[in-house]
Amino acid sequence: MKITFIDGSFKEFPNGTDALKIASSISPSLAKRAVFARVNGDNYDLTRPINKDASLEIITRDSEEAFTALNHSCSHLLASAVKKIYPDACFGVGPAIEEGFYYDINPGNDIKFNEDDLPKIEAVMAKIAQQDYKFERQEISKKDALVLFKNDKYKQEIINELEADEVITVYRHGNFVDLCRGPHVSGTKLLKYFKLLNVSGAYWRGNSENEQLQRIYGVCFFTEEELKKHLEVLKERAERDHRKLGRELDLFMISEYGPGFPFWLPKGLVLRRTLEDYWYKIHAREGYQFVQTPIMLNKELWEISGHWNNYNDNMYTSEIDKHEFAIKPMNCPGGILVYRNHLHSYKDFPLRLGELGLVHRHEASGALNGLFRVRYFTQDDAHVFLTADQIEEEVANLIRLFDEIYSTFNLSYKIELSTRPLEKYIGSVETWDKSEKALANACRNSGKDFKINPGDGAFYGPKLDFQLRDSMNRVWQCGTIQLDMNLPERFELTYIDEQGDRRRPVMLHRAIFGSLERFIGIITEHYGGAFPTWLAPVQIRLIPVSREHHLDYVKKIKDLLFNEGLRVEIDNREEKLGYKIRDAQTQKIPYQLVVGEKEVSENLLTYRKYGGVATTMVAVEDFVKMIKAEIANLGK
């Protein structure tokens, strides 16, 4: 058979030769680094025979895909250890995820896992790994699969959804077998460097109406050094948890009287308002007009938009004047009513309507998580109405805007283009193809790489999703640009074209922060609570050495700084100077100004920046110029 490599070269091998032998023939070091192979675009285990002409790519340890295969293999190792300790255990799914793996498990006999169980499970995993069991792939029929997993109702449910003639693959290591497509690493000896991290609840198949399983999270690396480094990062993340920092820095609170409804405390509200002011300023520059739509609207509107049929379980409702109303879970229908309030011409386009709109969604109580998952939040929405010919240019403008805003917060990102679903989509294939091409061209013309996410577009149109990466190397889905062919049709939106005829506009939905609440949670952890000066709730803390001799001068300086638009406070507590300086550092205030005799007598200021120990003495007017320039440049 003829094997073609990714560089275009090819070589002949006997039929049935596997990828590991092919890699060994090229280079022993390549074989050593190999994890799995891609054969004609399909994932193959290294020892799976290749029986026909094929293109071949060897996936090595330095690839993200290799990390995925390693961690999925470790999820099988976890399951085998749990089965050994808890023979009645049944298993849901155990995928690899961005930073490791998890497995959803019912251990049986009403057993509840806790954190103390993890070391015991780890010990059994380590013993199994030492046995160097091979991961053996086997193809079986649906009938045989149902027999094999007759004692696991979750696997039975998955198998019963497959076609009768579908070939099913299972993987064995030792005496444990699991339903799986693969690929896997060659054997358990590669699963040395792992750690189980925590336990949480998870509804079977993500449906709150199903029973709750227990999800064990873990991570596995090829080397001990990589694992150690990752665990150090996790420790730092725990220190940066926005819920912890929110309490320590007095930003927000959650009350038992409103689960999922955060309260903004004074400092947190300053942070939020500063973010809003930035958003309004930059969007006004880009030609957006701002609207505010009602929080509660008649049920009929939500029926027209389709939300009532598809989303009503997540909506809060009430009755007004014997009519049913719903609190909005999304801003789009309100924005459309604003559009319909006037007759529009092609000359109005692109028409950009922005709204910081408060929405409510009935999230499951078990899913609530600080500011990351709440029941009310503010979307930084905008709805752009335009012609089909304007899509490419407008999306390119949006990408430029996204890039500017994310770079302000030192957040890098990747773009995913989600394309037409295979089923249940509206509009013609021709329109979808044209729309997808416009989004792709906008990315290319902006110099941005993107990844195709096939079939994951919304039923009403393709979309670009922006995956942010923070200082802790985590990925967050925040920004999105969605092309909508559904709502303009449902609401019969029109504009007058150049010939005087009525046409349907194209509608773009876009959000950059995603939600203010979640974005504030993200940047709180991204900065570790040490916000840049322009964003910090308190920018300057004045600390008099002596309340008796220096407080009057400090109050004078505070008034001066306040009148310059700076956020400043005085610490005049009866505490030692060292304590007050440490407290200012603990509160992560960008500038601490200690005022003593020299400062008072010579009209000076001595400042220390957060995180530093050096102090600098400057004239008052020079300090004002310096800090205002820093704020104006957003810290850049």
> What are the residue numbers of the active site?
332, 361, 379, 381, 383, 463, 509
The answer to whether 57 and 6 are in contact (CB under 8 A) is yes
Is the four-CA dihedral 517, 238, 122, 189 of positive or negative sign?
positive
Pairs from 629-633 (Cβ < 8 Å, separation ≥ 24): 630/533, 630/534, 631/533, 631/534, 631/539, 631/566
Query: What distance, in Å, lies between the first and last C-alpha atoms of the chain?
Result: 58
The sheet that has 317-320: what strands, in order across it?
Answer: 296-298, 323-327, 317-320
Phi, psi (deg, nearest 5) at residue 606: -115, 120
- 594-to-375, 505, 569 alpha-carbon distances in Å: 43, 60, 12
DSSP string, 588-606: T-SEEEEE-HHHHHHTEEE
**Judging by beta carbons within 10 Å of its beta carbon (0-12, 13-18, 19+), is residue 212 exposed, middle or buried?**
middle
Amino acid identity of 363?
E
**Residue 25 parent element (H or E):** helix 19-26
Quick one: which of 507, 212, 521, 135 has its CA closest to 333?
Answer: 507
Distance of CA 273 to the CA centre of its chain: 23
Region class of 241: left (phi > 0), else alpha (psi between -120 and 50), else beta: beta
Amino acid identity of 48?
R
What is the rounded CA–CA span in Å between residue 221 and residue 571? 48
Q: Where are the beta strands (DSSP E) in 265-350?
A: 289-290, 296-298, 317-320, 323-327
Quick one: which of 433, 524, 413 has its CA closest to 478?
Answer: 413
Q: Which residues are 179's β-sheet partners?
A: 170
Scored b (16 or more CB within 10 A) or e, 392-413 reads bebbbbbbebbeebbebbebeb
